[in-house]
Amino acid sequence: ISVNRAEGITFAVVAPSAVMDGTVLAGQGAVARLDDRIEAFPAPSRTLFVNLGPAATSASGMSRAAQFMLLDQAVREARPPSTARDGDFQLLTPNGREVLARYLAGGRIAFSVDRATDIRQVLAFARRNGARPVIVGGAQAAQVASLLASSKVPVIVDPLLNLPGTFDQIGVGLDNASRLHKAGVSIAFTQLVGPSHNAYKVRQAAGVAVAHGLPWDAALAALTSGPAEIFGLGAEFGRIAPGYAADLVLWSGDPLEVTSVADQVWIDGRSQRMRTRQTELRDRYRPRTP
């Protein structure tokens, strides 16, 4: 956390990740403030994460259709009156049914999904059940960009995703973010590959998106105001304006250039310590000029 904070990251989304053989309903996540406060998770940012596609196929009998059947069953269990009998298979625990019911009442559900046909199914599922969907990944989202824009559904993309890692990602390119932006889709950036302690490299990914057609201002927004809006904090974070949290970074140059560094970081107006274990190791072992 201290390394990413010193690299200019003031908040991030903590989320359960899609793993092989994982369940469809991955769990809950929220925005985390990275200034070591005790209450680090703003309540409006709470989000339910759902894994679809190849990462969760083993949990659903290796069937894409079965994933949506499991989702539909979970909805039926969460909404009273339950018609299940004592001996019937129950997908959710009582606590799980209570939690899912809250998200079906206008809550935010983030769907990890890449394939264009699956994105269409996700939007239909959200419309039927009253949820507010967010697409995470969206390798083929540009193919249904007009539908996403008209539905006002945001997409969290990895600007570095270029070569398909699965059949679901065929057709992905470094211009994915640019194509979505041109269609009017709200976007935010993430890194889908690599350890979370390297989250600060997302600004390098934003620079790659600019190099492939995304306007610079839109790339900066996808790192700041975009994720704040998507996760329900747009009235408090992500902008430099009166009444907003004073999360500020003083950069040595263009923040989307890899040669720029964060000279100083403030969170809620408080100056943050810029020394980390890594900077101490650097200062200890780097060659000294005679």
Q: What is the pLDDT of residues 250-287, one digit of tens each?
A: 999 999 999 999 999 999 999 999 999 999 999 999 98
pLDDT for position 185 = 98
Query: 73 with 67: CB under 8 angstroms?
Result: no
Q: Would you call 85 exposed, middle or buried from its count of C-beta atoms within 10 A (0-12, 13-18, 19+)? A: exposed
Q: Whole-angstrom Cα distance, residue 168 to residue 140?
A: 8
* pLDDT of 193 over the 60 cut: yes
Q: Regarding predicted confidence, which is higher, 66 or 109?
A: 109
Query: Poorest-confidence range of 15-24, 88-97, 247-256?
Result: 15-24
* pLDDT of 18 over the 60 cut: no
Using H for helix, E for strand and C for coil, what is the string for 99-122? HHHHHCCCCEEEEEECCHHHHHHH
pLDDT for position 81 = 73
* pLDDT of 55 over the 80 cut: no
The conformation of residue 135, written as its DSSP 8-state character, comes to: E
Nearest to 139 by CA among 120, 160, 157: 157
* pLDDT of 23 over the 90 cut: no
> Which two structure tokens, joined as six digits, stand for 280?
């101490």
Query: 268 with 246: CB under 8 angstroms?
Result: yes
pLDDT for position 289 = 80
Estimate to the nearest angstrom the gap between the alpha carbon of 243 and the chain centroid.
Answer: 25
Helix (H, G, I), strand (E, B) or coil at 60: helix
pLDDT for position 182 = 97
CA distances 203 to 83, 131, 159, 209, 222, Å, are 49, 30, 10, 10, 10
Q: Whole-angstrom Cα distance, residue 27 to residue 32?
A: 16
* pLDDT of 22 over the 70 cut: no
* pLDDT of 83 over the 70 cut: no
Q: Whole-angstrom Cα distance, residue 53 to residue 57?
A: 7
Estimate to the nearest angstrom the gap between the alpha carbon of 71 and the chain centroid.
Answer: 21
Q: Where are the alpha helices (DSSP H) in the chain?
A: 2-6, 64-78, 94-103, 116-129, 145-151, 176-182, 202-211, 216-221, 225-230, 277-285
Q: Regarding predicted confidence, which is higher, 89 or 173?
A: 173
Nearest to 3 by CA among 227, 273, 222, 220: 273
Q: What is the mean pLDDT of residues 243-251?
A: 96
Side chain identity, residue 115: R
Q: Whole-angstrom Cα distance, residue 287 to residue 67?
A: 56
Backbone φ/ψ region at 62: left (φ over 0), alpha (ψ -120 to 50), beta: left
